[in-house]
Amino acid sequence: MTLAIIGGTGLTRLDGLEITRREVVRTPFGEPSGPVIHGVLQGREVMFLARHGYAHTIPPHQINYRANIWAMRHLGVRRVIAVAAVGGLADEMEPGRLVFPDQIIDYTYGRRHTFFEQDLTDVVHIDFTYPYEQTLRDALISAADAAGLDAVPWGTYGATQGPRLETAAEVRRLARDGCHVVGMTGMPEAALAREAGLAYATCAAVANWAAGIGGRTVTMEEIDANLVKGMERVRSLLAKAVPQL
């Protein structure tokens, strides 16, 4: 089954990917974030797309999630590993750690979030009880164990609108709602993947303590520094996971 990796903040290129070609895909929903990169990673064919663009120029609320997911499906992708940077709310979610969330709460608004629109298709209601595909999650969790990464195999991802970071009160509300990590791109990407019939799971790298946790504010310097470590771990994870998938 064809595998794709969607990279986020901190992962605009995939080290070790032997690139074979770059493909511009036209979609009924407009332009994807960039050409899809085809290549070989750990002996396996993989496609790669950077959701913020390869120069990280597209903010989270302006990503064309529909075009990105449609392009993947069109190219024959059936499994997607989504890499994301997040802020940590729960004690376990300390900066530098990898997390495989199992639930989502969507706080985004005004994003084009479905393929099922009037005049395009019938009315369709997908099941989204468990938003991430369990077999792919299990494979990632086992690979993280095998790589000795001390990752957190659970967590609820709160998807906020951005591009600004949250207020301390918003983070307190996210925590009361049951969120353990917060990011800005988890939705509608996961729901669109489900609508498109793709097996989708997220590997999140904790970049910072969320705003107000421990009385802290958030700085981009802290995020960038923690993401260096986080993305090293993502690379170790992919080295173990990709050959098994």
Ligand X SMILES: CSC[C@H]1O[C@H](OP(=O)(O)O)[C@H](O)[C@@H]1O
Residues lying near ligand HPA in the complex (CB under 6 A) are found at 85-87, 160, 165-166, 182-184, 207-208, 210, 218, 223
Position of minimal CB gap to ligand X: 8
The answer to whether residue 223 forms part of the interface with ligand X (CB under 6 A) is yes
74 is in an annotated binding site: no
Would you say 17 and 47 are in contact if contact means Cβ atoms under 8 Å apart?
Answer: no
- Residue 229 is encoded by which pair of tokens? 């470590």
Site string for ligand X, 58-77 (x = CB under 6 A): --x-----------------
- Per partner kind, with CB cut-offs from 5 to 8 A, the member of ligand HPA, ligand X, none near residue 51 is ligand X
56 is in an annotated binding site: no
45: enclosing H helix or E strand: strand 44-50
What is the rounded distance in angstroms from the CA atom of residue 179 to the CA atom of residue 104?
8
Minimum Å gap between C-beta 179 and ligand HPA is: 10
Q: List all residues 6 or more positions away from 100 whose beta carbon is below 8 Å from its beta carbon.
A: 132, 137, 140, 141, 144, 151, 152, 153, 154, 155, 201, 202, 203, 204
Compute the distance between CA of residue 101 and CA of residue 242 in angstroms, rounded to an integer.
Answer: 19
- The residues of the shown chain that bind ligand X, judged by CB under 6 A, are 8-9, 51-52, 60, 84-85, 162, 183-185, 223
Q: Which residues are annotated as a binding site for phosphate?
A: 9, 51-52, 185
